[in-house]
Amino acid sequence: MSFARYAVPPCRPGAAVRAGALFLLLATVAPGALAQETAADELEQVVVTAPRYVATRNLTGTKIDTPLVETPQSISVINRDQIDLLNWQSLQQVVRYTAGAVGENYGPDERYDWLTVRGFYPVQYVDGLQAPVGSVTNVGLDLYGSDSVEVLKGPSSVLYGQTPPGGIVNMTSRRPQRYFGGEVGAQFGSFNQKQLNGDIYGPVNDYLSVRLTALLRDHHTQTDGVRSRRDFVAPAGTINITPDTQITLLSYYQYDKINGDGGGFLPAQGTQLFNPNGKLSVGFNAGEPGYNFYKRDQYGVGYDFSHRFSDALTLRQNLKYFSSDASTRQIYGAGLQPDLRTLNRYSWAFDEKVASLNVDTRLESHLQTGALSHAIVGGVDFRRVTNSTDTGFAFGPTLDIFHPVYGARIAPITTSPYLRQNQKQTGLYAQDQIKFGGFILTAGVRQDWVDTTNFGKPSSDDQFTYRVALSYLFPNGIAPYVVHATSFMPTPGADFSGTPFKPTTGRQTEIGVKYDPGELAKGVKAFAAIAAYKLRQTNVLTNDPNPSHLFFNVQAGEVEVQGFEAELNARFYEQFSLNASYTYTDPTVTKSNGPDLDKRLPAVAKHKFALFGDYTIQRGPLAGLGFGLGGRYLTSTYGDPANQWKSGPVLLFDGIIHYDFDNWRLALNGNNLFDKTYVQRCSSMDQCFYAQRGYYTASLTRKF
């Protein structure tokens, strides 16, 4: 993000109104519909704060640097400029105004980013390589180290191997630059939040460029007696070995320590349901503030390498070693006694160590065969993961929830091995994007082999996946497309007879239209997309119907998801930014032997509306002063598979006031502006979670 000043036309009246109608005009809008020519004498100096606010290219969707309009699958790209302007601090916040994705599914959680994409939990990637996910499909990596976030929606196994059918989320690290720059900043906010952050980059000599990104954060939370601390540092360096050969060394280290958190697990009576003794406050802690803790050390180190043999052929390799070591001791709620005030509690211990080595080697070729042009990528990726998990469980002391007295003696808890898993995944893949006139045919295939051992017991899976898509790019930037894609995920365990489970599989057909008009006028950029899809997941585990096979499962389940998504990002003359999206998601369990048959998947709203606009004054004594307002509306969700616990609907507002002058930015951000208090989710009588309360942050940033 830059605060430089340069000459651009002022925003024309009505531009924002016309942008709001862009979804309706998508098939007919002309390149000049959003802007008019402006006379040279109207030019004046303005504050440039987000030149990359609107993303138009991506790497995740095809593993080749490709325009979004030519990527035949739904993908949302949130650049650093947009992250900075709205002061988002986690993946959960990043998807607030993104179609097809919902975050903050368990309210505030300092450990992980709880997302759903098209009804499923996405797997997290870092720089195109799967993060060291273990018991949870994300690693809680701090957003400050990322240059962009890409949400690829729908089955993605053709390029990434074992992935859920809803999609993946990829965080791209900040990279060294061939010019000097950076920032330092401080932030203060609600719940005694304090943060220092910095980012510096530039060339050392003609061959080496470096970058260092770092953050320190310390704050309390809306839950009484909880303190969260985070240290993050990410060194990087790019070596230009020759004009055609480059290697970028990437690394990060993050330490988290959370003291006192009870993790939610509140009783329904007193939160979502009536309790004659009273209502529990949002700050109530069902744990033991002096005992509970969660700590995690994680790091990643590796490189991105490229060598260009010719204009037609390039070799690329991504390699990263990840490690995550997490430990927790927790007292948490286990339901009320008949007096509706004495809370039973459990004592839980959990230690998890996950390490993985990922390497993806591919050849990228650009060829012309007659009237056809090809963008071909083919390669092999390998991933080795080890997971060593110990856990322990016991009963904890009770607690009067209306007059809590903490500090009870907690008996030491003994842990025992829960998981000793080693997994190797090898995948061979090839993809060709063929252009003929305005037509773009994208076809890809992949074969995976997955070998897993747990406590020495081996199992093997192999799976073939594919994606085929057809697009047509009109000269005015409109591109309709249709795509069919597949996915798979290994399923641990075996049925009653000892037969190992097969992988779950996903299939999706999606049709959509994308619109990238280029630069409609100097300083006017926009990107819009709509998509409708039908997704089916098979081989899902469900209860064994044989009553003598209690606690065993069979693979007779099936889930079907139908949806529609529309999204618009636009920025006009460095004055007005617009994020708008609508999501319709209908996920239904179509086959099951359990109470979830014909029910919706948990934590998935049927409708999500999101709109955010930001305006910066560019003339007069208040030039550089800006303000924004956004609203998010989600319909009701269910917290449990049987759909007995319902929460919502909810309407939330976010706001920002910012002032840019010279190379400084002063900003005040408000999240959940009116401090709406509500239960985010109840899964049972003893598992309820309050949503994130309203909170404010003030930040001061100096660019250089």
- Phi then psi for residue 150, to 5 deg, are -120, 125
The whole-number pLDDT of residue 105 equals: 80
**pLDDT of 383 higher than 80:** yes
Longest dimension (CA), the chain: 85
Where is pLDDT greater, at 34 or 378? 378
Among the listed residues 481, 566, 471, 571, the one whose alpha carbon sits nearest the alpha carbon of residue 517: 571
Structure tokens at 452: 């897993």
Do the Cβ atoms of 323 and 354 come closer than 8 Å? Answer: yes
Q: Which domain holds residue 112?
A: 5-703
Lowest mean pLDDT of 312-316, 434-438, 465-469, 496-500, name the range.
496-500
- With b for 16 or more beta-carbon neighbours within 10 A and e for fewer, the 71-95 pattern comes to bbbbbbbbbbbbbbbbbbbbbbbbb
**pLDDT of 23 higher than 50:** no
Report the CATH number at residue 45.
Answer: 2.40.170.20
Alpha-helical runs (H) found in 490-615: none
| Domain count for the chain | 1
* Rounded-to-integer distance, Cα 419 and Cα 455, Å: 7
The whole-number pLDDT of residue 45 equals: 56
* Residue 410 to residues 284, 331, 341, Cα–Cα distance (Å): 20, 9, 21
* Residue 401 to residues 132, 222, 264, 482, 507, Cα–Cα distance (Å): 37, 17, 13, 55, 47
* Rounded-to-integer distance, Cα 138 and Cα 246, Å: 30
The whole-number pLDDT of residue 366 equals: 96
The whole-number pLDDT of residue 89 equals: 87
- Render pLDDT for 633-686 as a digit per residue (tens, 0 to 9): 999 999 999 999 999 899 999 999 999 998 999 999 999 999 999 999 999 999
Predicted confidence band of residue 49 (pLDDT cuts 50, 70, 90): confident
Share of the chain above pLDDT 70, in %: 93
**pLDDT of 5 higher than 50:** no
* Rounded-to-integer distance, Cα 160 and Cα 489, Å: 11
**pLDDT of 180 higher than 50:** yes
- With b for 16 or more beta-carbon neighbours within 10 A and e for fewer, the 526-561 pattern comes to bbbbbbbbebbbbbbbbbbeeeeeeeebbbbbbbbb
Among the listed residues 173, 146, 169, the one whose alpha carbon sits nearest the alpha carbon of residue 156: 169
Do the Cβ atoms of 93 and 539 come closer than 8 Å? Answer: no
Which pTM value belongs to this model?
A: 0.91
Structure tokens at 263: 């993790």
Average pLDDT of the segment spanning 173-182: 96
Structure tokens at 433: 């994007």
Q: What is the 3-class SS of 396-459, one letter each residue?
A: EEEEECCCCCCCCCCCCCCCEEEEEEEEEEEEEEEEEEEEECCEEEEEEEEEEEEEEEECCEEE
**pLDDT of 380 higher than 70:** yes
Among the listed residues 322, 198, 319, the one whose alpha carbon sits nearest the alpha carbon of residue 248: 319
The whole-number pLDDT of residue 47 equals: 67
- Render pLDDT for 539-555 as a digit per residue (tens, 0 to 9): 999 999 999 998 899 99
The whole-number pLDDT of residue 416 equals: 94
Paired with 318 in beta bridges are 304, 360
Q: Supply the mean pLDDT for the chain.
A: 91
* Residue 416 to residues 296, 346, 502, Cα–Cα distance (Å): 20, 17, 28
**pLDDT of 353 higher than 60:** yes
Do the Cβ atoms of 118 and 132 come closer than 8 Å? Answer: no
- Render pLDDT for 579-598 as a digit per residue (tens, 0 to 9): 999 999 999 999 999 999 99
The whole-number pLDDT of residue 104 equals: 85
Q: What is the H or E stretch that residue 17 is in? A: helix 15-20
Residue 684, SS3? Answer: strand
Q: What is the 3-class SS of 19-64, one letter each residue?
A: HHCCCCCCCCCCCCCCCCCCCHHHCEEEECCCCCCCCCEECCCCCC
The whole-number pLDDT of residue 65 equals: 94
